[in-house]
Amino acid sequence: MKFYKKRWIQSGIILISSLGIVLSVFPSFADDNIDNLKGQTSALESELDGINKDILSLSEEISATEMQVEILNGEIARTSDALVEAEENENEQYENMKSRIKYMYEHGNATLLEMLFSAENMADFINKADFIENLSEYDKTALDDLKNIYKNIEDQKSTLETQQDSLLDLKDELKKKQTELQEKAKATSTNLTEVQAKLEKAKAEEAARLEAERLEQLQQNGGYDDTITNNGGQIDASADDVTLLAAILQCEAHQNYDSLLAVATVILNRVESPRFPNTIRGVIYASGQFEPVWTGRLDAVLKKGPTSLSMQVAQDAINGARLAAVADCYYFLYAGSTNRPGVNIGNNLFFPSW
């Protein structure tokens, strides 16, 4: 079923002429058709998502490496302290040994004999004799042990420092990769922005072309508009929903059929999209979406009652009527307040995405 509305032929001719002038200055993008640009956008979004995931993974790896370096720093400090302590013990042992040797040399065998003959019994005598015999060997063994401890600690410290150098090199390499990925993400994001701008421009050009064709067809049909279709499908709605929809249309659009139906198309596009609430009431009263809701203008119209034309358009839209020129639009603004590309209907500018 199609819905028709009388238009002034003269207005249609003027608009066709204006659009013809505008379209004549649009650049031609042979490779930038809408489908191609959508494909480029999708590919760049996927690439950017992958790069961001790689950057996150590298950041986590860098954090883990920094933690390992910090742990190694602690172990190197601990080992350095142990090395100093071992060196002090070695020096102390060496000094003690030198003192004993010096004493034995200065006092000679007399002192050793005195120590032997001071034994209280045979067992004590044998123990002291063994002590004298093993004294020099003990000092040598103790000193060798201290040297081995010192060398082991020194080797351990060297190993830790080598590991630390390797981790620092790895950290530098990871940060270099992270910087490269960040630059790549920046370039990809720039490309994505450019492609998205081209896509929006291409959509606006296509919408303008369709509008020009619609107006031309309107002229050929003698002023009747046959681009109002019921492709949207019927919406389940109560009488209150119809009245609410009519009221918001009256607040947001001029009192002519196309202007009202354009706003209705946007609202019902939202109802049918998973990105927005799935009821007329939910879409209209969504936070911060429609100025008449929070300024009280909507309540004033509801209290007084919408006009018969607003009610007719609301009911037609609920029955499936849509304005083809804004069939893919989900947003609109007062045309005088924005320079963004879009379709101007009744001094409202309609566009697909924010």
pLDDT, position 223: 45
Instruction: Per residue of the chain (354 residues), give pLDDT as tens.
Output: 333 333 433 344 344 444 443 334 344 433 458 888 888 888 988 888 898 888 888 888 888 888 887 787 777 778 778 777 777 776 776 676 666 656 655 555 555 556 666 766 766 666 656 666 666 666 667 667 767 876 777 787 788 788 878 888 887 888 888 888 888 888 888 888 888 888 888 888 887 887 777 666 555 544 434 455 555 556 777 888 999 999 999 999 999 999 999 999 999 999 999 999 999 999 999 988 898 998 889 999 999 999 999 999 999 999 989 999 999 999 998 888 888 899 999 889 999 987
- Answer for the pair 178, 59: CB distance below 8 angstroms, yes or no: yes
pLDDT, position 13: 39
Expressed in angstroms, the distance from the first to the final Cα of the chain is: 32
Q: What are the residue boundaries of the structural domains of the chain, listed by start?
A: 7-226, 227-354
Region of 16 on the Ramachandran plot (φ > 0 left; ψ -120 to 50 alpha; else beta):
alpha
Q: Does domain 227-354 have CATH number 3.90.25.10?
A: no
Interacting residues of 116 by C-beta distance below 8 A, sequence separation 6+: 125, 128, 129, 132
pLDDT, position 21: 39
pLDDT, position 117: 61
- Answer for the pair 319, 225: CB distance below 8 angstroms, yes or no: no
Determine whether 203 is exposed, middle or buried from the number of CB atoms within 10 Å of its CB (0-12, 13-18, 19+): buried
pLDDT, position 212: 77
pLDDT, position 218: 53
The reply to whether domains 7-226 and 227-354 share a CATH topology is no
Q: Which two three-digit tokens encode residue 345?
A: 């209907």
319-351 pLDDT, tens digit per residue, is 989 999 999 999 998 888 888 899 999 889 999
pLDDT, position 299: 94
Query: Which of 236, 256, 232 minimizes the C-alpha distance to 327?
Result: 232
CA distances from 222 to 4, 84, 256, 285 (A): 12, 104, 18, 40
Architecture of domain 7-226: Orthogonal Bundle (1.10)
Q: Which residues of 303-315 are buried (b: 16+ CB within 10 A; e: fewer)?
A: eeebbeebbbbbb
